[in-house]
Structure formats: C-alpha cells, structure tokens
C-alpha cells in the first residue's frame, strides 16, 4: 500500500467540490451503513428534487446546507485497498479564501475543479496561485459538469490549454486534467463510457497511484525546538519534530542562532530510547554539553540555514483591514514568534496574469511581495529549500487573528552586512552624568486638544527643576525629518516610526524626550512603545472632539468639514483612543497651570 496522501479540493463557488468527494466516497463504498442511510434521508429535503445530494456528506454546517455552499474546511479520512487519504474540502467563495489557504497549507496535492460551462475563472486562478505559493507540487484539474456540455472534447481541450498557460512557471511536478461529472459519477472511481476520447485514469485510481514523496529524509538534519524538557536536574532534552534528514547518537549538531556545537548524547521517541531518528518523527534530543537553546531555536547539521532580521516574502493578505507599509505584526516562522514590521510593499501579484503590479496598500485576498523587518535575528530558510523554516504567518497583535500567510523568498543582504556597533559610553553613563532617568513622554490626542501647549509647559517645568529635555512637536518635525511624508495612513505610520526611533536615540543620550503627535492608531503607538521600551510613558490628552473644533486655532477643522483637507483625524480619518495610558487629562476641565501641575506630578512617579 502506498503512503498517506493529503489533498484538498478547491475551485470557485458551485464548481462541485463537495459533490465530487461525496460521490467518490459513495461509489467506492467507503461509507458506513448509517451514513449512507442518513445521506439518502437528508437528500429528500435537499436541493436536488429527492435525488442523492452527495455534497451533504461534507457540508456539515447548517449555513452551508441552507446556502448550498461550503464555508468551513471539511476534513475526511478514508482508506481504499491501495492507499489511505485525508481530504480537505475547502470553500470556493472569495470571502472564505483564507479557509482555503489553511487547507492548502497541509496538502501534498490539490484537486482544482472548474465548471465546464464557465472554464477557468478568476477564483480558479487565485486558488491555483495559492496552491503554488503553499508549495503544492501536484495538481489535478477536474473539469466538472461535463454532462452539461454533452461531454464535448473540444471544450475540454480548451480548458486544459487555458490551465496549462496559467500554471506555466509554477514549477509543478505533475498536472493531470480529468473530465468528470460529480453528480453523474463520470471518471470519478472508474472510466466513463461517455468520454471514450479520454485516455487517462479516473480520479480515484490516479490519486491511489500518484507518487508525492519528497526526499526530505535525504537532506541535512533539521529540528526546530518546540520545548525544552527538564523533568529533573540531571536531564535536559530538546523536543520537536524532525523536519528534514535523520540523526544518530554521536552525530555533531549546530545550535542556531548561537552556532554552538555539541554531540548527540541520546535520542528518545516518545519514552523509548533509540539510536537513530528520521524525518517526520517527534523526538527528544539530549546533548553531551550545555548549549544556549530555547523554544524557537534550531538544531541542525546544515550550514545553509540563515540567521537574519530582515527578509523578502510573498504573502496572501487575509485580513479585512488593509495592509500598509510600517504596520507591526507578530511574525511566526517555525516555532519562533517575534514582533516584526512590513517595511515596504514591493508589488502585488495580478492573479490573472501573474504580473507584478505597483501598490502602496493591499486588500483582502491579494498576493503581495514585501520586505519584513524583525525585532531580532530569526532562523529561517527559503521556502524552496525547507517548508518548515520557509513558511510564515503574520498575526494581528490586537485581535490575535492571522492576518497573512506566505513564504520567505530570500534574506535582505543589509540584514547581515549591517552590524550594531557597541560603544563604551552607554545610556546609563550619559544618564548618570545628567543625574536623571531618561524617559519619552508621548503626548497623544486630537488636533486642538492642547497637547503641544501642555507638552511645552511640562518641558519648561522640568527644565526649571534641572532636568535635561528635548521636545519633538509634530508640525516642527514635518518641516525637516518628515518633510517627505503626507497624511495618508501609510505616511502617518512611517511618521510615528521615525519619531519613535529618534526618541529612543535621545533617551540613549540621557535626555527626557517629550513628543507631541496626534498618533491616531493604537497599533502605531504600540509599535512606538516597543521601539522605545520601558522608557515610553503615554499621556493621553482626551479633550473631546467638540471642544477641539471650538478651539480650531489653525482653522483646520473648518477646512476638513468643507472637504478641503482629506484624511483629517477626527473628521475623515479615525482616532483610536488609548485604552491604558499612563496619564490621561482632559484640558477642557483645567487651566493650563492646573493641567501642567497634574501631568508633572504623575510623571514624577516614573522619574524618581
């Protein structure tokens, strides 16, 4: 019997994916008697006039059955005399593309369906590109609903030609195009008399026979560490699944990123000690000496694995919120999770032609190439070399939802060529010289809230008490450092990132830095807090919008209401109020002197 085959069915809405797999299971006698009886009963109240509706075997959600579409990914395990299978029936609607991508990430082969009456359409192209992105090397194109076009060979050949053109350059190992009818059962489990011109195998026999094994067991040993096991003071083992190669007791390995070398003292598979372990096995590896290894590190015999803090990736954007440059996410590669920033959007990829299209923002279900910067070095490889260390996901730091999935193309040269230069005079020495604790006082609030006036008064009060300060005002900085930035979302993100880096440098100089910026987005303020560190003190000037409009010293609100200023915070662009600022004050309730007294009193808690 051949090894387990994991495959997905995908394609556009109503192309017959669930019906195809359901009919395959039914015809191959792979259902229990109660399942078969339930199917026949459910079909009587279904949408096929009492005839068996094979899609009901996989469409388990009530919403799916009511709408006649697949929403969730349905997994089924079945076994024939020749092979065992796990199939993921994925949704075809564009709204649920992220669900389809999840299914594709586990599969060795994809069965892509097209409606013979429609041919290759946009969603078919999107799914084919996602399958290629996810590393699927074997594709079966099932041209479904052949019965509706009278089993026309000419139309079948046209669709076959279109698909081969689409997948040119995908680096696939096999493409098999099969004419089928999911409802009538043509070419699903056995050859159909309705397509005498088709000389290939039916779908199920093809799936039983195809060879999808790779040579991962022949590669260099690779173990991403998931957990450090220390049940007692005498044992320290590193646990994880072997993602490539094999390992024996006595072999020398390298621990990344520290690059320390050690020899394998013992190997455990479950609780059994073994001499050798191979690709795919979960193991506990004990080394002959202490090395610096924790979750996210990698044990390997290869010298090709990269360690860097910047790389280029191709990702599928799956978030309802659009992607812009400068946004900060959690980046997960292998077992390592780090904060990271999308530094630049290089281009998006047209799903129809595959061409590179210039873009400055990316919307849901679009493919994009981008540069990503990490908070520290990460161990990775290109996806072509190793899927476990070459695949990544981006996680929204507020909702914890997966915003994107994708693959690493290459590291950025400057990430390894540019090295941090340590200096003898440290932040601590500079701070001690000035006799103060460096802080960044981050004033945020709407235009007209009084944050600049308040920041100015607070700085005067601090200077009068002998502190060394520097005030960075939003308008002033835009006259120089950020002169090239506008007020679109991506420009606002970059504006705050630059100021955060400057504030950090000034803290390194031993200064107390005061910043006065609208900084409307919670994610950007969180990014600023991460860049600056524990010295970041957020002061929310919470003056209501109505009061800010009354003040309108610069006449900006009036212009914004008249439509003369686009992307104006509070009017045509959102302000996300801080949830847990260190200090909050509404300047409409206090005089300037009272407000200054209050803020200085609060920040002294952090200066003492």
| Ranges of each domain in the chain | 5-209, 216-300, 306-415, 428-607
Could you tell me the two tokens for 165?
A: 């053109």
465, 546 Cβ separation under 8 angstroms? no
Neighbours of 418 (CB within 10 A): 11
| Other C-beta atoms lying within 10 Å of the C-beta of residue 325 | 20
pTM to 2 decimal places: 0.74
pLDDT tens for 101-129 read: 888 888 899 999 999 999 999 888 989 99
Overall average pLDDT of the 309-334 stretch: 92
State yes or no: 446 annotated in a binding site: yes
pLDDT band at residue 406 under the 50/70/90 scheme: very high
Q: Phi/psi of residue 424, each to 5°?
A: -75, -35
Instruction: Find out whether 47 is annotated in a ligand binding site.
Output: no
pLDDT above 70 for 62: no
Q: State which of 43-47, 560-564, 594-598 shows the largest mean pLDDT.
A: 594-598
**Residue 464 annotated among the catalytic residues of the structure:** no
CATH 2.40.30.10 is the classification of domain 216-300: yes
Residue tagged active-site, from 132, 181, 415, 519: 519
Helix axes 122-133, 153-166, angle to 10 degrees: 50
Beta bridge partners of 442: 515, 538
The DSSP secondary structure of 48-78, one letter per residue, reads: STTS--GGGGT--SHHHHHHTS--SPEEEEE
Rg (CA), the chain: 30
CATH of domain 428-607: 3.40.50.300
Residue 10 has pLDDT above 60, yes or no: yes
**Each residue of 514-528: pLDDT tens digit?**
999 888 888 889 889
**pLDDT tops 90 at residue 392:** yes
pLDDT score of 130 more than 70: yes
Position 42 scores a pLDDT of: 54
Distance (Å, whole) CA 237 – CA 285: 5
Whether pLDDT at 40 is above 70: no
Q: Is 450 annotated as a binding residue?
A: yes
Contact criterion met (CB below 8 Å) for 243 and 386: yes
Of residues 92 and 606, more confidently modeled:
606
Backbone angles phi, psi at 198, to 5 degrees: -90, 120
- To the question of whether residue 510 is assigned a binding role by annotation, the answer is no
Please check if 488 is assigned to a binding site: no
54 confidence band (pLDDT: 50, 70, 90): low
Give the separation between CA 426 and CA 431, rounded to whole angstroms.
9
Mean residue pLDDT across the chain: 87
Q: Are strands 402-411 and 391-395 parallel, antiparallel or unpaired?
A: antiparallel
Is 92 labeled as ligand-binding?
no
The yes or no reply on domain 306-415 and CATH 2.40.50.140 is: no
Q: Decide whether 5-209 matches 428-607 in CATH topology.
A: yes
| Residues 239-262, mean pLDDT to the nearest whole number | 92
CB 494 within 8 A of CB 325: yes
Q: Regarding the domain with residue range 5-209, which homologous superfamily does it belong to in the CATH classification?
A: P-loop containing nucleotide triphosphate hydrolases (3.40.50.300)
- The percent of residues in the chain predicted with pLDDT above 90, rounded, is 54
């Amino acid at each position: 019997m051949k090894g387990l085959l994991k495959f997905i069915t995908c394609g556009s809405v109503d192309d017959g994916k669930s019906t195809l797999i359901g009919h395959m299971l039914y015809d191959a006698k792979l259902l229990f008697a109660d399942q078969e009886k339930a199917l026949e009963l459910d079909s009587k109240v279904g949408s096929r006039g009492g005839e068996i509706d094979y899609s009901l075997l996989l469409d388990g959600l009530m919403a799916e059955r009511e709408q006649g579409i697949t929403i969730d990914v349905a997994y089924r395990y079945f076994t024939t005399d020749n092979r065992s299978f796990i199939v993921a029936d994925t949704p075809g609607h564009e709204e649920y593309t992220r669900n389809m991508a999840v299914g594709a990430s586990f599969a060795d082969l994809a069965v892509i369906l097209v409606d013979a009456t429609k041919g290759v359409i946009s969603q078919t192209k999107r799914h084919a590109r996602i399958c290629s992105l996810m590393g699927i090397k074997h594709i079966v194109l099932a041209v479904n609903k052949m019965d509706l076009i009278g089993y026309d060979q000419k139309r079948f050949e046209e669709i076959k030609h279109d698909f081969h053109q689409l997948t040119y350059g995908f680096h696939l190992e096999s493409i098999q195009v099969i004419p089928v009818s999911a409802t009538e059962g043509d070419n699903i489990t056995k050859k159909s008399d309705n397509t005498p011109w088709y000389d290939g195998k039916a779908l199920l026999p093809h799936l039983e026979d195809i060879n999808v094994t790779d040579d991962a067991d022949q590669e260099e040993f690779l173990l991403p560490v998931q957990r450090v096991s220390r049940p007692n003071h005498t044992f320290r083992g590193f646990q994880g699944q072997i993602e490539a190669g094999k390992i024996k007791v006595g072999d020398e390995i390298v621990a990344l990123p520290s690059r320390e070398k050690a020899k394998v003292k013992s190997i455990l598979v479950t609780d059994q000690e073994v001499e050798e372990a191979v690709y795919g096995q979960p193991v506990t590896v004990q080394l002959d000496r202490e090395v610096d290894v924790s979750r996210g590190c990698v044990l390997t015999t290869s010298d090709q694995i990269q360690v860097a803090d910047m790389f280029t990736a191709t990702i599928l954007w799956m978030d309802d919120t659009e992607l812009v440059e400068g946004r900060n996410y959690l980046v997960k590669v292998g077992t390592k999770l780090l904060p990271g920033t999308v530094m630049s959007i290089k281009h998006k990829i047209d799903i129809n032609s595959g061409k590179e299209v210039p873009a400055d923002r990316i919307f849901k279900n679009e493919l994009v190439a981008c540069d990503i910067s990490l908070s520290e070095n990460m161990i990775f490889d290109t996806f072509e070399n190793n899927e476990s260390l070459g695949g990544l996901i981006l996680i929204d730091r507020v909702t914890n939802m997966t915003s994107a999935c994708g693959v690493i193309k290459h590291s950025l040269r400057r990430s390894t060529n540019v090295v941090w230069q340590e200096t003898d005079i440290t932040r601590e020495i500079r701070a001690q010289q000035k006799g103060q604790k460096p802080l960044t006082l981050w004033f945020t609030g709407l235009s007209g809230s009084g944050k600049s006036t308040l920041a100015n008064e607070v700085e005067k009060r601090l200077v009068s008490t002998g502190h060394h300060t520097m005030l960075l005002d939003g308008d002033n900085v835009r006259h120089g450092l950020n002169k090239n930035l506008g007020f679109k979302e991506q420009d606002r993100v970059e504006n705050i990132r630059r100021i955060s880096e400057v504030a950090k440098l000034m803290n390194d100089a031993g200064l107390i830095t005061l910043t006065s910026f609208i900084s409307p987005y919670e994610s950007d303020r969180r990014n600023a807090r991460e860049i600056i560190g524990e010295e970041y003190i957020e002061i929310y000037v919470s003056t209501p919008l109505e009061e800010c409009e009354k003040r309108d010293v610069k006449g900006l609100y009036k212009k914004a209401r008249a439509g003369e200023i686009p992307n104006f915070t509070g009017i045509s662009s959102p302000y996300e109020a801080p949830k847990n600022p260190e200090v909050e004050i509404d300047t409409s309730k206090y005089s300037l002197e009272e407000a200054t007294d209050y803020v200085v009193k609060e920040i002294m808690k952090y200066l003492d």
